[in-house]
Amino acid sequence: MKGIVSKVVMGAAALGLMLAPPAWAENIKVGAILAVTGPMSFLGGPEARTLEMLVAETNARGGIDGKPVELILKDSTGNPEKAVSFAKQLIEEDKVVAIIGPSSSGETMQIKKIAEDGKTPLLSCAAAEVIVDPVASYVFKTPQKDSDAVRSIYQEMKKLGLTNMAVLVDNTGFGKAGQEQLVKIAPEFNIKVVENEVYDKAANDLSAVVAKIKANKEVQAVVNWSVVPAQSIVAKNIRQMGWDVPIFQSHGFGNIKFVEAAGAAADGIIFPASRLLIASDLPDGHPQKALLVKYKKDYEDKYKENVSAFGGYAYDAFIIFEAAVKKAGSLDRDKVRAAIEQLKGLPSATGIFTFSEKDHNGLTIDAFQMMTVKGGKFVAYPAK
């Protein structure tokens, strides 16, 4: 009888050991929930690669304050239910100091409350403004505000004397948030939305809908707000119909692959974006220049692909995390959270971040630079 009891106890103990988490107390654990594969992978892919590169670089330098960083990367494939599961896992089980991601606004909104309840800073790489408005004390985001992008676009439209526009957005969370802001802010600039359509993120050809908006003679400009490859199809279809309407796009166009895909049709598209895309053209004194050029070179050397604005959002998240940990001098989540709110004038890939209790985005409209495409390359707008 005794033998059986001891066997049961030993068995249970072995099971317990197996289940127990590995204890590496000295590492700085940071979690990341990104859509590395799946339909949003063109966001999550560059984000994950950027983080891996930054963590490797930081550890090669000896870590943050002498402590190595351990990145726990979870691939959500863009599914909110997985993001929920992973967020709980990272907070409770892996006891991370902060979570970077998710890539999409839908996933971020689903785990906002979990981060709040788990008192863990969440640095989202998704754009929608609802993430930080109203402010939740543990939730931050790195991409620029949609409303600032809309204002940048409308200012240019105003200068060009365009007042009637067609709005085309994709059916992702990015497109949805953009559509809301575009419609909401238009009256401030006396701009009228005369056509408003949503296209599928996996669309193969959009010539039918382009034909429809082209037939509306009131349309003076097209705003094509999207983060998916299909946005290049819109641009192509417009030009293939011999329609030389001005095309405006969003910061979701900030991936040179989309320009390559649209080819000659991309020329002349006007859009607001991060300065990362034109790093080497920046004036020498610009506070972001040095780090942008380095990030671009490191990333392109390592992964043999062009850097994109999306990877830049993950870059920001890590830089903010690193700065906050240094400032807090502690790995306590509350102290790190408080330290993020105190960061002022921190230059990073997307812009210069200045957080406060009320502002968990930290960027102003100045983080946008109007750009255009010339000969298959991003250049500052107006083009020289």
Partner 1 sequence: MKRILPILPLLAVVVLVQLVTAWTGTQYYLTQMTMAAYYSLLIIGLCVLMGYAGQISLGHAGFFAIGGYLSAALTTRSLVPFKEAALVRLLDNCGMLHAGKDLYGGELLVVTPWAAAVFAVLVAALIAVAIGIPVLKLKGHYLAMATLGFGIIIYRLVLATPWFGEADGISGVPPFQLFSGVTVSGETSVRILNYYLAWGVLLCGLVLLINLMQSRIGRALRAIHGSEEAADAMGVNIARFKLQTFVLSAVFAAIAGVLLTHYNGGIGPSEAGVMKSVRYVAIVAVGGMAHLWGAMFMGVLLNFLSLRGVFGSYDDAVFGLILIVIMLFAPDGILSLITGRKKQAVTVPTVQQDREV
Partner 2 sequence: MSTELFVQYLFAGITYGSIYAIVAIGFNIIYNTTGIINFAQGEFVMLGGMIAITLLSFMPLPAAIALAVIITMIIGALIEIIFIRWLKNPSVLRMIIITIGLSILTREAAVHIWGENIRALPYFVGNEITTIGIMGARISPQVLWVVGVCGVMVAVLHLFFRATSVGREMRACAANRLATILCGINPRNMVTFSFVLSAGMGALAGCVMSPITYSQYDMGTGLAIKGFTVAILGGLGNSGGAVAAGLLLGVIEAFSVSVVPLAFQDAIAIAILLLILFVKPHGIFGSGEAARLKAF
Q: Work out which of 26, 65, 93, 218 binds partner 1, going by CB under 8 A.
A: 93
23 binds partner 1 (CB under 8 A): no
52 binds partner 2 (CB under 8 A): no
Q: Work out which of 65, 81, 117, 200 binds partner 2, going by CB under 8 A.
A: 200
Whether 189 contacts 148, CB under 8 Å: no
Give Cβ neighbours of residue 121 (< 8 Å, ≥ 6 apart).
Answer: 97, 98, 99, 115, 138, 139, 140, 321, 324, 333, 336, 337, 340
| Alpha-helix residue ranges (DSSP H) falling in the chain | 2-19, 41-60, 80-88, 105-117, 146-159, 173-185, 207-215, 230-240, 256-262, 289-303, 309-328, 333-342
Q: Using CB distances below 5 to 8 A depending on partner kind, what does residue 259 bind out of partner 1, partner 2, none?
A: none
Closest distance of CB 258 from partner 1, Å? 19
Query: Residue 282 carries which side chain, given as an amino acid letter?
Result: L
For partner 2, give the closer residue by CB, 39 or 347. Answer: 39
Range 156-195, binding partner 1 (CB under 8 A)? 171-173, 175-176
DSSP of 203-230: -S--HHHHHHHHH-TT--EEEEE-SSTH
Closest distance of CB 333 from partner 2, Å? 32
Which span sits near partner 2 by CB under 8 A: 135-143, 256-264, 286-294, 324-332?
256-264
Q: Work out which of 39, 63, 68, 80 binds partner 2, going by CB under 8 A.
A: 39
> β-strand 192-199 against 164-170: which pairing, if any?
parallel
19 binds partner 2 (CB under 8 A): no
How many residues bind partner 1 (CB under 8 A)? The answer is 42
How many residues bind partner 2 (CB under 8 A)? The answer is 38
CA 287/CA 222 separation, integer angstroms: 34
CB atoms within 10 A of CB 305: 15
20 binds partner 1 (CB under 8 A): yes
> β-strand 369-374 against 377-380: which pairing, if any?
antiparallel
Burial class from Cβ neighbours inside 10 Å (0-12, 13-18, 19+) for residue 137 reads middle
User: Which residues lie near partner 2 (CB under 8 A)?
Assistant: 37, 39, 41-42, 45, 171, 197-200, 202, 204-205, 207-209, 211-212, 214-215, 229, 232-233, 236, 239-242, 257-258, 260-266, 305
Residues that bind partner 1 (CB under 8 A): 12, 15-16, 19-21, 36-37, 73-75, 77-82, 84-86, 88-89, 92-93, 104-107, 109-110, 112-114, 117, 128, 134, 171-173, 175-176, 198
